[in-house]
């Protein structure tokens, strides 16, 4: 009972440190030469002694690299992990399939072990060793089986603490990175206006002097700076969303007219943009913000479409539970969204690694949809393209909000 009480008092901080302390407590209770708390590594199919008593035999084990047991190599520790039966022997040197390193290098003669279960899951083995033959009794084995349940609880607490700590660190790094990105984007935008003005002057001079090549280069440079300006605007919008300063101003607008404007501005000889739907589809929405969302969806579809294919903007309306909704489907014929990305496709900075961009377009589109009381969803199967559906209440956001 004293040992169990001291186990409960152990701080659940660093997992390895907690398990090492637990091993030292068991040494005092059992008088063993070595205590190991093995955890299973599924990637390597090995049992790794994260907790080992600070005894001569424990130090020798680590120096020989015997603190890692491949399950496939067999031996008593692997058997306990595999079949779950408690184990006791006072003559390890007479067990036919015992690992040679345990018997010959460490000199183990007596051995007891019990499977370690953490949060209902088979996770490892707790074992005690002695160089003295017939050292452990059946009572010692029962004690080890009992204390192993408490070690499982300690392991679970320590792992939860590590997860919470890791999540907090990641959140802190993410917030710092977002703040830095917002500041940089704000400063960069201050340089774009004079740069665009200079490029405009260069283009006018080139046109006046008839320098065709210079005119073309100036136009391309202007397009590149415009794309940079859009990226900076997206970065600043992310900051506004996080600070609750993302404004929308709903007003009656025609979705079909907006779709035609987007098709004219984003269509390329490489990928055609087609439109299907009624002649007019009026909703209450912020036209500029909605255009930003749809342009991001269409641009994403173009990036993932092979040359010679087309992107479809399909518009429709539907009565759902007495309320009219307008649907805008953006359909591409690309390779589809990888299944592992689907659950987080609308998160920030998520990309598939094959298309350009930093993963903000779909995130902004989803947040603009949310600001309108709308839904943005995706359906995709590998090899058959993807469909992004924006569903808007025709009457506008259900609750009038000046900011998200």
- Each residue's pLDDT tens digit, 17-57: 888 888 888 888 888 999 999 999 998 999 998 888 889 99
Q: What is the mean pLDDT of the chain?
A: 84
pLDDT number for residue 372: 87
Please check the confidence at residue 80 and state whether its pLDDT lies above 70.
yes
pLDDT number for residue 401: 42
pLDDT number for residue 130: 94
pLDDT tens sequence across 302-325: 988 888 889 999 999 988 777 889
Q: How far apart are CA 250 and CA 331, in angstroms?
A: 26
pLDDT number for residue 186: 66
- Residue 37 vs residues 51, 144, 253, 321: alpha-carbon distances, Å: 5, 11, 67, 58
pLDDT number for residue 404: 39
pLDDT number for residue 47: 92
Please check the confidence at residue 266 and state whether its pLDDT lies above 60.
yes
What kind of fold does domain 251-393 have according to CATH? Heat Shock Protein 90 (3.30.565)
Please check the confidence at residue 337 and state whether its pLDDT lies above 70.
yes
Residues 6+ apart with CB under 8 A from 372: 248, 250, 285, 286, 289, 290, 392, 393, 396, 397
What kind of fold does domain 2-164 have according to CATH? Beta-Lactamase (3.30.450)
Q: Report the pLDDT averaged over residues 209-226.
A: 85
pLDDT number for residue 400: 44
Residue 106, SS3 per DSSP: coil
pLDDT number for residue 402: 41
Rounded to 5 degrees, what angle do the CA atoms 259, 265, 266 make? 85
Query: What is the DSSP track for 297-327?
Result: HHHHHHHTSPTT-EEEEEEEEEEETTEEEEE
- Is pTM, for the whole model, over 0.75? no
Please check the confidence at residue 399 and state whether its pLDDT lies above 60.
no
pLDDT tens sequence across 179-209: 666 666 666 777 787 888 888 898 899 889 8
Q: Where is average pLDDT lowest: 170-179, 217-226, 291-300?
A: 170-179
Q: Where is average pLDDT lowest: 13-27, 142-156, 238-252?
A: 238-252
Please check the confidence at residue 133 and state whether its pLDDT lies above 60.
yes
Other residues' Cβ atoms within 10 Å of the Cβ of residue 243: 11
CA dihedral 85, 88, 91, 93 (to 10 degrees): 40
Please check the confidence at residue 349 and state whether its pLDDT lies above 80.
no
373 vs 233, residue with greater confidence: 373
3-state secondary structure the chain: CHHHHHHHHCCCCCHHHHHHHHHHHHHHHHCCCEEEEEEEECCCCEEEEEEECCCHHHHHHHHHCCCEEEHHHCCHHHHHHHHCCCEEECCHHHCCCCCHHHHHHCCCCEEEEEEEEECCEEEEEEEEEECCCCCCCHHHHHHHHHHHHHHHHHHHHHHHHHHHHHHHHHHHHHHHHHHHHHHHHHHHHHHHHHHHHHHHHHHHHHHHHCCHHHHHHHHHHHHHHHHHHHHHHHHHHHHHHHHCCCECCCEEEEHHHHHHHHHHHHCCCCCEEEEECCCCCEEEECHHHHHHHHHHHHHHHHHCCCCCCEEEEEEEEEEECCEEEEEEEEEECCCCCCCCCHHHCCCCCCCCCCCCCCCCHHHHHHHHHHHCCCEEEEEECCCCCEEEEEEEECCCCCCCCCEC
pLDDT number for residue 108: 93
């Amino acid at each position: 009972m004293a040992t169990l009480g001291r186990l409960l008092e152990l701080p659940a901080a660093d997992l390895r440190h907690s398990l090492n302390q637990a091993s030292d407590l068991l040494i005092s209770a059992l008088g063993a030469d070595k205590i190991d708390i093995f955890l299973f590594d599924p990637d390597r199919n090995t049992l790794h002694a994260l907790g080992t008593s600070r005894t001569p035999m424990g130090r020798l084990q680590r120096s020989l690299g015997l603190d890692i047991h491949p399950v496939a190599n067999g031996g008593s520790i692997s058997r306990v992990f595999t079949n779950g039966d408690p184990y006791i022997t006072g003559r390890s040197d007479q067990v036919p399939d015992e690992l040679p390193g345990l018997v010959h290098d460490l000199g183990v003669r007596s051995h007891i072990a019990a499977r370690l279960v953490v949060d209902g899951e088979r996770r490892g083995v707790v074992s005690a060793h002695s160089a003295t033959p017939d050292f452990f009794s059946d009572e010692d084995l029962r004690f080890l089986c009992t204390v192993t349940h408490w070690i499982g609880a300690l392991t679970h607490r320590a792992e939860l603490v590590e997860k919470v700590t890791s999540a907090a660190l990641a959140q802190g790094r993410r917030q710092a990175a977002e703040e830095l990105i917002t500041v940089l984007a704000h400063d960069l935008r201050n340089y774009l206006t004079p740069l665009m003005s200079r490029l405009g002057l260069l283009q006018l001079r080139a046109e006046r002097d008839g320098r065709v090549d210079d005119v073309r280069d100036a136009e391309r440079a202007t397009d590149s700076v415009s794309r940079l300006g859009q990226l900076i605007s997206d970065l600043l919008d992310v900051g506004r969303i996080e600070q609750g300063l993302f404004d929308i101003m709903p007003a009656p607008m025609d979705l079909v007219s907006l779709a035609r404007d987007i098709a004219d501005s984003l269509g390329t000889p490489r990928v055609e943009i087609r439109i299907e739907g009624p002649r007019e589809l009026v909703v209450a929405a912020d036209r500029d913000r909605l255009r930003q969302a749809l342009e991001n969806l269409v641009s994403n579809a173009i990036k993932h479409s092979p040359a010679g294919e087309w992107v479809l903007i399909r518009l429709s309306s539907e009565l759902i539970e007495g309320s009219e909704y307008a649907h805008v489907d953006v359909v591409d014929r690309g390779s589809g969204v990888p299944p592992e990305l689907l659950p987080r496709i609308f998160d920030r900075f998520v990309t598939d690694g094959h298309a350009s961009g930093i993963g903000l377009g779909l995130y902004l589109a989803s947040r603009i949809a949310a600001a309108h009381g709308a839904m943005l969803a995706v359906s995709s199967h590998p090899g058959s393209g993807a469909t992004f559906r924006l569903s808007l209440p025709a009457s506008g956001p259900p609750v009038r909000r000046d900011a998200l």
